[in-house]
Amino acid sequence: MALNYPNGQRYQSVKAPQNKKVLPKTQSFANRGMTFEQMINESNDYYLAKGIAVIHKKPTPVQIVKVDYPKRSAATIKEAYFKQASTTDYNGVYQGRYLDFEAKETRNKTSFPLSNIHQHQIEHMQQCLSQQGLVFLLVYFSTLKECYLLEAQDLLVWWNQKETGKKSIPYSYFQEHVALVPIRISPRIAYLEIIDKMLDRRL
């Protein structure tokens, strides 16, 4: 099981050889050694630097309990807890449009388990949709190295079927009905190309 720090960074055992770069045979150039979150952050950095869009990941929400204010040095947080986020992780602006999305990675090859999504994220997506935001989910099948952009409207259809026992979205549904996001060198996850097509379709 791959372990991540709460900030999304891949956990590395201290025993791992730090200087020896071993590329697994199945890993492509575009995303070697990167978590999906890092790939998205890099893409957002690219979009920002090129003046294409302003999209940021929100900071991890933390409940701060105890802070030390030592003289002459920075305040140190001595006790804090991770809080449940009340929104999705990413939002921003692209050509005047409000963009809002969540990014999820799965090692599963046959389906995307809906347990990856939380009720409060669904509610936030619904709220943003009713304000005409562009809302979606980026799903990365890490074993297959494929990223899909699932529009929130479609995600909601699946979510509402959860009660009937359908607890995951089959991979075949993604293949047949969901936009495949190009993975490039930069931007790594070229999701705005899919947004362009969405906007073209709406005009």
Nearer to a copy of itself among residue 147 and residue 194 (C-beta): 194
Q: Is 196 annotated as a binding residue?
A: no
User: In the chain, what is the straight-line distance between the N-terminal and C-terminal CA atoms, in Å?
Assistant: 44
Residues making contact with a copy of itself (CB under 8 A) = 5-7, 48, 51, 53-54, 56, 58-62, 64, 67, 74-83, 85-87, 91-98, 100, 124, 127-128, 130-133
> Please, what is the minimum distance in Å from the beta carbon of residue 179 to a copy of itself?
21
Establish whether 89 is an annotated binding residue. yes
Q: Output the CA angle 196-201-203, nearest 5 degrees.
A: 95
In the chain, beta strands by DSSP E:
54-57, 62-68, 76-82, 90-94, 97-106, 111-113, 134-141, 146-151, 168-170, 179-181
Q: How far is the CB of 15 from a copy of itself (least distance, A)?
A: 19
Label residues 165-193 b or e (16+ Cβ within 10 Å = b). Answer: eeebbebebbeeebbebebeeebbbbbbe
Nearest approach in angstroms of CB 81 to a copy of itself is 6
Return the number of the residue (23 or 67) whose C-beta is nearest a copy of itself: 67
Q: Which is nearer to a copy of itself, 75 or 185 (CB)?
A: 75
Distance in angstroms (rounded) separating the CA atoms of residues 101 and 147: 14
Q: Which is nearer to a copy of itself, 127 or 172 (CB)?
A: 127
| 55/47 Cα distance (integer angstroms) | 8
121 among annotated binding-site residues = yes
Interhelix angle 152-160/119-130, nearest 10 degrees = 130
Closest distance to a copy of itself from the beta carbon of 63 (Å): 9
β partners of residue 167: none
Q: How far is the CB of 190 from a copy of itself (least distance, A)?
A: 18
Residue list, annotated binding site for Mg(2+): 87, 89, 102, 121
Residue list, annotated binding site: 87, 89, 102, 121
